[in-house]
Amino acid sequence: MARTTDSRTSPDSKKTVTLTDNTTGRTWELPILEGTLGPRAIDVRRLYADTGFFTYDPGFTSTASCDSAITYIDGEKGILMHRGYAIEDLAEHSTYMEVCYLLLHGELPNRQQRDEFERSITYHTMLHEQMMNFYRGFRRDSHPMAIMVGVVGAMSAFYHDSTDISDPYQRMVASHRLIAKMPTIAAMAYKYSLGQPFVYPRNDLSYAENFLHMTFAVPCEEYKVRPAVARAMDRIFILHADHEQNASTSTVRIAGSSGANPFACVAAGIASLWGPAHGGANEAVLKMLQEIGTKERIPEFIKRAKDKDDPFRLMGFGHRVYKNYDPRAAVLRKSCHEVLDELGMRDEPLLDLAMELERIALEDEYFNEKKLFPNVDFYSGIILQALGFPTSMFTVLFALARTVGWIAQWKEMIEDPNHRISRPRQLYIGYPKRPYIPIDQRK
Ligand code: CMC
């Protein structure tokens, strides 16, 4: 969708809300902005200049930090769309490469565009050989997310010819490099933790097959990627590709708003994703299921999740935006059964346990009242474990798949002629000015 300078402004300039300061009786008219879908927004850009007030919204629960034409979520109805296409349709009919193209360019590619895009991504899959030395600097037991933050940030030091953010061609090359090299970087982080040799990318394989090959192949024997496994991997990548202005995407946008290069910005996004309230939840779900262990212990954990004095939360449940079943969880729930069937793991006890936990939680008044439903992470961990990934790699896979979303959002911001450095303000609650105390007079 074409972006115009005044695309955000309501065509009817009479659409305003009135703000009244009840202490002085003064009033101001604030414009209402309308998107194509979703709640309208009150334009407070001139609020401080015109009124002297800030808005106060820690956690940004009521704040639209930007406008965007990439992803739409209706959390009440459980809808997720990329560029107008439902996530269920993309997961069913598209490939991750097509979704990457869609997010970056706004339309699904025709055959020629798809082939050219895939060629460009394939062409960039190798890492600069010098970058291997970075891995050797890490302890073997480092968390692979720690390695990801370091190595992706270090890309800024290697690919100088794609760090000029004012050049559209360099922005495109940086985008393709990040999408292409992320699987290589992630697989190498895993290999390093095992003490196995790095496996170089293979350009005759699809994106998902290549990643699985680099992760699980060893030089001494042939490794054949099972088509069903590659398809499941590709679907997981699609489901994690973008999710509008979540914590890590906002981090990438804020880092990029100062003009920082895209490799550094994506490294910042990876750091933000790492936390257990965000991308780290899939790892936490599996640990929780292992801790619960048996169906008999589920009520005990449900009780703990409801106890205000217990910090325990049911991981994989609840979402800031979805107040209905997360549509990605619905796709993965189905996928989970298919993959486990295909791998001959139909009786996997963890899946059984997860299904029972979901059933009990969905029937529980507390979870219903607070609209806490399973989110994408509830089922992804079970599939990833079945595919052979250790829990420490789960968030890495999320980062790999989300890279296209980060970079598409970053690109959209850089190409917006109205973009400015992000600089929130605060409600200061510290001391007012007070006299300096010399050290010998301090208590
Ligand atoms: N288990 C038990 N209670 C919960 C849970 C949970 N998983 N999630 C929220 N609540 C309760 C919470 O205690 C609070 O209760 P009260 O109103 O009585 O204080 C209420 O529900 C609202 O919670 P909140 O923390 O104010 O909601 P939020 O929008 O700030 O947090 C969340 C959203 C995802 C951080 C939270 O639901 C959570 O911690 N879930 C578990 C972690 C998880 O699965 N994260 C993955 C998110 S999806 C992947 C992604 O997009 O990154």
The residue whose C-alpha atom lies closest to atom 32 belonging to ligand 1 is 319
Average of per-residue pLDDT values in the chain: 93
What is the whole-number distance in angstroms between the Cα of residue 339 and the centre of ligand 1?
28
The residue whose C-alpha atom lies closest to atom 20 belonging to ligand 1 is 370
Contact (CB, 8 A) for 104 and 408: yes
- DSSP code, position 292: H
- pLDDT value at position 81? 98
Tokens of 345: 């793991």
The residue whose C-alpha atom lies closest to atom 15 belonging to ligand 1 is 370
What is the whole-number distance in angstroms between the Cα of residue 229 and the centre of ligand 1?
31
- pLDDT value at position 6? 47
- DSSP code, position 69: S
| 16-60 residue pLDDT tens | 999 999 999 999 999 999 999 999 999 999 999 999 999 999 999
- pLDDT value at position 8? 56
> Which whole-number Å values give the CA distances from 423 to 19, 52, 205, in the listed order?
24, 17, 44
The residue whose C-alpha atom lies closest to atom 51 belonging to ligand 1 is 278
| 368-410 residue pLDDT tens | 999 999 998 888 888 998 899 998 899 999 999 999 999 999 9
Q: Using CA atoms, how far apart are residues 285 and 322, in angstroms rounded to an integer? A: 18
What is the whole-number distance in angstroms between the Cα of residue 267 and the centre of ligand 1?
25
Contact (CB, 8 A) for 121 and 180: yes
Residues with CB under 6 A from ligand 1: 243, 246, 277-279, 281, 305, 313-320, 370, 372, 375-377
Specify the ligand 1 atom closest to the Cα of 59.
Answer: 30
- pLDDT value at position 2? 41
Q: Using CA atoms, how far apart are residues 41 and 64, in angstroms rounded to an integer? A: 7
> What is the end-to-end Cα distance of the chain in Å, rounded?
63
Specify the ligand 1 atom closest to the Cα of 320.
Answer: 29
- φ/ψ region of 319 (left if φ > 0, alpha if ψ in -120 to 50, else beta) reads beta
- pLDDT value at position 278? 84
For 113, the enclosing helix (H) or strand (E) is helix 111-123
- pLDDT value at position 4? 41
What residues form DSSP beta bridges with 85? 82
- pLDDT value at position 1? 47
Specify the ligand 1 atom closest to the Cα of 318.
Answer: 37
Q: Which residues of the chain have pLDDT under 50?
A: 1-7, 10-11
